[in-house]
Amino acid sequence: MKNLGYQNPLKLFKTMKFQFKLIVFATLLLITTVGYSQITTTGSEGDGVKVEAEDGSFSWKFSTRMQNLYEFEQNMETKEHSSNFLVRRARIKMEGHAGSKKLTYKIELGQSTRDIGLPNEVSANSASIILDAVVKYNFAGNWSVWFGQTKLPGNIERVISSSSLQFVDRSNLNSRFNIDRDQGMQLHYDADKFRFAGAISIGEGRNDTNDNLGGYDYTGRIELLPMGKFASKGDYKAADLAREETPKLMIGMTYDLNSGAARQGGQLGGYMTDVNGVIQETDLKSLFIDAHFKYNGFSTMIEYANRSAENDGVYTYDPILLTERSYYTGHAINAQMGYVFPSNIEAAVRYTKVTPEAATGRNINNQYTFGLSKYVVGHTVKVQSDITLIKEETKDNMMLFRFQVELGI
């Protein structure tokens, strides 16, 4: 078992500086290539800039976006409050095909502090900027295989891009139970009324540089679309901006087994260690059931999540923080709905309840959210705000207000 040692924060800055130089160099190289090759360039607001060889041998699409956020939180009993401005997300994305349109790729980099996180044992104390780095090959008909780092086929709310959400951010169900991104292989089948995705991954999450701990992670998801596919891939976009002309429904179920999980949430959270800093492991089992419905501007999404641990979420000791940790187990529900008016203003409501297992020592948490959004250019340029009442057992009620502006190209 590995013993987690002290991490040096100075390496984070040095790594970020090097990777910034690398991005600048790659961009200059691409510009030079565009100038001296038979290449066409296209672009439109919200769809990035696309460069493609005239013979179709390769393509490269570049896009970027940012989310600037204001938060205000108040204790409803004591009236104490806090507020903050921050860059919630700032991302660069590149995608396209190479050699054949059956062979595609996606690279997404996170630049904000929330995306990168702090130096930790997962990324060997380096800047954790890589969100996606995946190659996809459509080898036969509706079948494709993916290789690299990307989102696992988990709950629908997590797989929906953070640029296509109905509220300022995802729900508490997702925060506590999602299986996030991981490194490995995935197999996908995509038909008009049925989809399947299976994955085998390392189980420790994105940008992990350690030897694989415990076993691997095994994920399977099936999706039924009894009324056919949504317009503009709307099954994985929260609001019904396409205003579906006929009712559309997707029902999905995911099961995930993280064998020998060493982190609190499998792919997320701190490592589980004993008093000597030696990593502990257990099997984590996660189940997600969700449904997404859209029709003529109205949308609703319902999710259920359940996670259990082989040792019932037993506590372990963190020798650095001098606190105890447990696996995050329990169950949760999330239900939300919204309506997009002809003016592209949407009103939406959400209810989320998280019920941790008693062994975790955590409390039941209820959240009631009302949101307003103005979509200027779809999800690419929008203004969103929401207000949430948070009720948690043994704690004072809290009110959270958020206002966010998103801009992308």
- pLDDT tens-digit series, residues 295-313: 999 999 999 999 999 876 5
More confident residue, 44 or 89: 89
More confident residue, 195 or 325: 195
What pLDDT is attached to residue 30? 55
Judged against a pLDDT cut of 60, whether residue 12 lies above it is answered with no
What pLDDT is attached to residue 217? 97
Place 207 in a pLDDT band, splitting at 50, 70 and 90.
confident
What pLDDT is attached to residue 45? 64
SS3 state of residue 87: strand
The tens digit of pLDDT for each residue in 246-285 reads 999 999 999 999 999 988 899 998 888 777 777 888 999 9
Check the CA dihedral 371-372-378-382 and report its sign.
negative
The residue extents of the domains of the chain are 64-88+101-106+121-408
**Count of residues making up the chain:** 409
Place 314 in a pLDDT band, splitting at 50, 70 and 90.
low
3-state helix, strand, coil in the chain (%, to 5): 10, 55, 35
Using CA atoms, how far residue 7 sits from 120, 136, 146, 266, in Å, is: 6, 35, 33, 21
Lowest model confidence (mean pLDDT) among 23-37, 122-136, 225-239: 23-37
Place 7 in a pLDDT band, splitting at 50, 70 and 90.
very low
Name the strand (E) or helix (H) holding 134: strand 130-140
State the first-to-last Cα distance of the chain, in angstroms, to the nearest integer: 46
Dihedrals φ, ψ of 246, to 5°? -130, 155
Lowest model confidence (mean pLDDT) among 47-51, 158-162, 320-324, 398-402: 320-324
Q: Cβ(395)–Cβ(364) under 8 Å?
A: no
Judged against a pLDDT cut of 60, whether residue 102 lies above it is answered with yes
> What is the token pair recorded at 17?
């500086």
Domain 64-88+101-106+121-408 matching CATH 2.40.160.10: the answer reads yes
